[in-house]
């Protein structure tokens, strides 16, 4: 982590969990537990809870994110949510290209690219997720998979459009929800690779400023070690973000 260039970001992806009442309570508890912490914090509740949670976090240091969007502003697209709607409700961030969306809901490198463009057009910070599967890692394809995801996902953008805006989240699919965290060496190796890829495909400014988060079974017990790695700027947390008490321990990783 390099806090002079990149302020740490700890993000919670609540996935398809929590009723409105549960989400509001967790958000209230989280605001209380994290007051005064000098770390960027984001939570991404399910769409149904965004509006009530927005009321809870307004004016606090907890920012709101969507878990997905569709790339059009409006139209006859049953079941979809647009960047206009997310911005309108008070989102600052939006998670894009999560492996669960790629795996179960047909997100592709091309649709992810369109979604990132839509987010940027509406001043939403994309949290752009990349990561290899177990089989891809076993086959020695980790770097080629990540290269393709990043290159296609960010095709057509300039460093100017992305610098100080986009966040990349490295989430090895085999570490998500499995309790199997990647080792420090594996994480640092990939984060260095992603940062050098930003330099190769764009420039030094993007490489220096892009926040690269790690995601996959992050817990209070392992967050400090992960956050010590020089190219890790934060965490994207699933299961352990559902409890305000547990998540706030992750947010206070340096204590």
Residue from 97, 172, 216, 234 in contact with ligand 13P (CB under 6 A): 216
d(CA 84, CA 162): 19
Helix, strand, or coil (residue 64): strand
Query: Judging by DSSP bridges, how do beta strands 9-13 and 234-237 pair with one another?
Result: parallel
The site for ligand 13P, by CB under 6 A, has a size of 14
Cβ-closest residue to ligand 13P? 238
The footprint of ligand 13P on residues 177-206 (CB under 6 A) is 177
* Identified catalytic residue from 22, 122, 138, 171: 171
DSSP for 185-252, written as a single string:
HHHHHHHHHHHHHHHHHT-HHHHHH-EEEEESS--TTTHHHHHTSTT--EEEESGGGSSHHHHHHHHT
Reported residue count of the chain is 255
Which string of x and - marks every residue 114-143 that binds ligand 13P (by CB under 6 A)?
------------------------------
**Cβ 40 to ligand 13P shortest distance, Å:** 16
8 Å CB contact between 151 and 113: no
Strand blocks (E) in 47-106:
62-66, 93-96
Residue from 64, 167, 218, 244 in contact with ligand 13P (CB under 6 A): 218
d(CA 84, CA 179): 36
Which string of x and - marks every residue 62-101 that binds ligand 13P (by CB under 6 A)?
------------------------------------x---
Q: Which is nearer to ligand 13P, 19 or 103 (CB)?
A: 103
Binding site for ligand 13P (CB under 6 A): 13, 98, 171, 176-177, 215-218, 236-240
């Amino acid at each position: 982590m390099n806090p002079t260039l990149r302020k740490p970001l700890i993000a919670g992806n609540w996935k398809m969990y929590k009723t409105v009442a549960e989400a509001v309570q967790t958000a209230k508890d989280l605001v209380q537990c994290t007051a005064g912490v000098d770390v960027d914090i984001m939570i991404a509740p399910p769409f149904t809870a965004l509006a009530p949670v927005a009321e809870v976090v307004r004016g606090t240091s907890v920012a709101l994110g969507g878990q997905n969007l569709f790339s059009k502003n409006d139209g006859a697209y049953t079941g979809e949510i647009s960047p206009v709607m997310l911005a309108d409700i008070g989102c600052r961030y939006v998670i894009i290209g999560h492996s669960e969306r790629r795996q179960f809901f047909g997100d592709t490198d091309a649709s992810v690219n369109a979604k990132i463009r839509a987010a940027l057009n509406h001043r939403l910070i994309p949290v752009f997720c990349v990561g290899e599967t177990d089989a891809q890692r076993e086959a020695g394809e980790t770097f080629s998979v990540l290269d393709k995801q990043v290159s296609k996902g960010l095709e057509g953008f300039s460093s100017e459009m992305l610098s100080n805006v986009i966040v990349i989240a490295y989430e090895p699919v085999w570490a998500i929800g499995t309790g199997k965290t990647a080792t420090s060496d594996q994480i640092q190796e990939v984060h260095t690779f992603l940062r050098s890829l930003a330099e190769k495909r764009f420039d030094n400014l993007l490489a220096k400023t892009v926040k690269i988060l790690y995601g996959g079974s992050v817990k209070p017990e392992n967050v400090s070690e992960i956050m010590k790695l020089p190219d890790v700027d934060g965490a994207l947390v699933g299961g352990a973000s559902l409890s305000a008490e547990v998540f706030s321990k992750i947010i206070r990783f340096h204590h």
